[in-house]
């Protein structure tokens, strides 16, 4: 199994982008901590499993099934493992200056769309119709590759067996999915805080 280089097809902004504001490296700790809290709550973060274990977990699942795991590459924190039409594969998650994006070596798209957390990234590629593209070869895990592409269709997460979501969490996902402003519901503050603790629908 190989970590896929990805290509995202989207409109290219032709106007020059302003210089990014200064970034305080101390903010990385809070951003990363919050991100891992979200992942632990999601139920589909599998932690420090290997690429081979991720492959075994996804091998008999339908195309588009995915999970998040720790990357085996020392320069990356996370890898997205997904079942494609050619079998399970992985894409590394890049992180810098408070933003996450899919790994890519495409010279035409040096700056892929970034997100403040991994959950927003996954929601974007499962809900917007955008289809990442990754190379079809399957050699070593968590390595960049340069050959032809295979679609990486993200459809639904694979929950870790011992982390299946509770009824309360499933209800929260439904509310987040169906309502634009769940924080305006006439609910007790404790329930509103529960909704705000995980503002995602996946």
Looking at residue 133, what is its pLDDT? Answer: 52
Number of domains in the chain: 2
**∠ CA(114), CA(22), CA(37), 5° rounding?**
50
Q: Pick the most confident of 25-34, 72-81, 140-149.
A: 72-81
Binned at pLDDT 50, 70 and 90, residue 147 comes out as: very low
CB atoms closer than 10 angstroms to residue 54: 26
Does 150 share its domain with 187? Answer: no
Residue-averaged pLDDT of the chain: 79
| Torsion sign, CA atoms 137, 143, 144, 146 | negative
Structure tokens at 168: 């309360």
Domain with residue 172: its CATH number is: 1.10.750
Does 142 share its domain with 186? Answer: no
Q: Residue 104: which domain range?
A: 26-157
- 3-state SS class at 183: helix
Q: In this model, does residue 188 exceed pLDDT 70?
A: yes
Whether residue 13 lies inside any domain: the answer is no
Average of pLDDT values for 154-173?
Answer: 91
- 3-state SS class at 115: strand
Binned at pLDDT 50, 70 and 90, residue 129 comes out as: very low
Does 185 share its domain with 111? Answer: no
Does 122 share its domain with 181? Answer: no
Does 151 share its domain with 179? Answer: no
Whether residue 9 lies inside any domain: the answer is no
Average of pLDDT values for 123-139?
Answer: 56
Distances in whole angstroms, Cα of residue 16 to Cα of each of 19, 98, 112, 126, 194:
9, 22, 15, 29, 41
- 3-state SS class at 101: strand
Q: Pick the most confident of 1-5, 138-142, 180-184.
A: 180-184
Binned at pLDDT 50, 70 and 90, residue 15 comes out as: low
Does 192 share its domain with 122? Answer: no
pLDDT tens figures, 25-40: 778 888 999 999 999 9
Question: Percentage of the chain with pLDDT > 90?
Answer: 51
Does 139 share its domain with 185? Answer: no
Does 64 share its domain with 108? Answer: yes
Looking at residue 28, what is its pLDDT? Answer: 85
Q: In this model, does residue 112 exceed pLDDT 50?
A: yes
């Amino acid at each position: 199994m190989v970590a896929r280089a990805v290509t995202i097809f989207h409109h290219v902004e032709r106007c020059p982008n302003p210089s990014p504001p200064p970034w305080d490296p101390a903010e990385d700790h809070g951003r990363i901590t919050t991100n891992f809290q979200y992942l632990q709550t999601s139920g589909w973060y599998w932690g420090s499993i290997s690429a081979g274990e991720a492959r075994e977990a996804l091998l008999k699942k339908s195309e588009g099934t995915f999970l998040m795991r720790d990357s085996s590459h020392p320069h990356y924190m996370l890898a997205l493992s997904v079942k494609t039409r050619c079998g399970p594969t992985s894409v590394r998650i890049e992180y810098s200056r408070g933003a996450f994006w899919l790994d890519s070596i495409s010279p035409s798209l040096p700056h892929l769309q970034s997100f403040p957390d991994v959950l927003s990234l996954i929601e974007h590629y499962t809900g917007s119709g955008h289809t990442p593209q990754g190379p079809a070869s399957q050699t070593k895990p968590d390595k960049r590759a340069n050959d032809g592409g295979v679609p990486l269709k993200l459809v639904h997460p694979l929950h870790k067996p011992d982390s299946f979501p509770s009824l309360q969490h499933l209800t929260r996902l439904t509310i987040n999915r169906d309502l634009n402003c769940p924080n305006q519901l006439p609910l007790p503050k404790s329930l509103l805080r529960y909704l705000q603790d995980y503002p995602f629908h996946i």
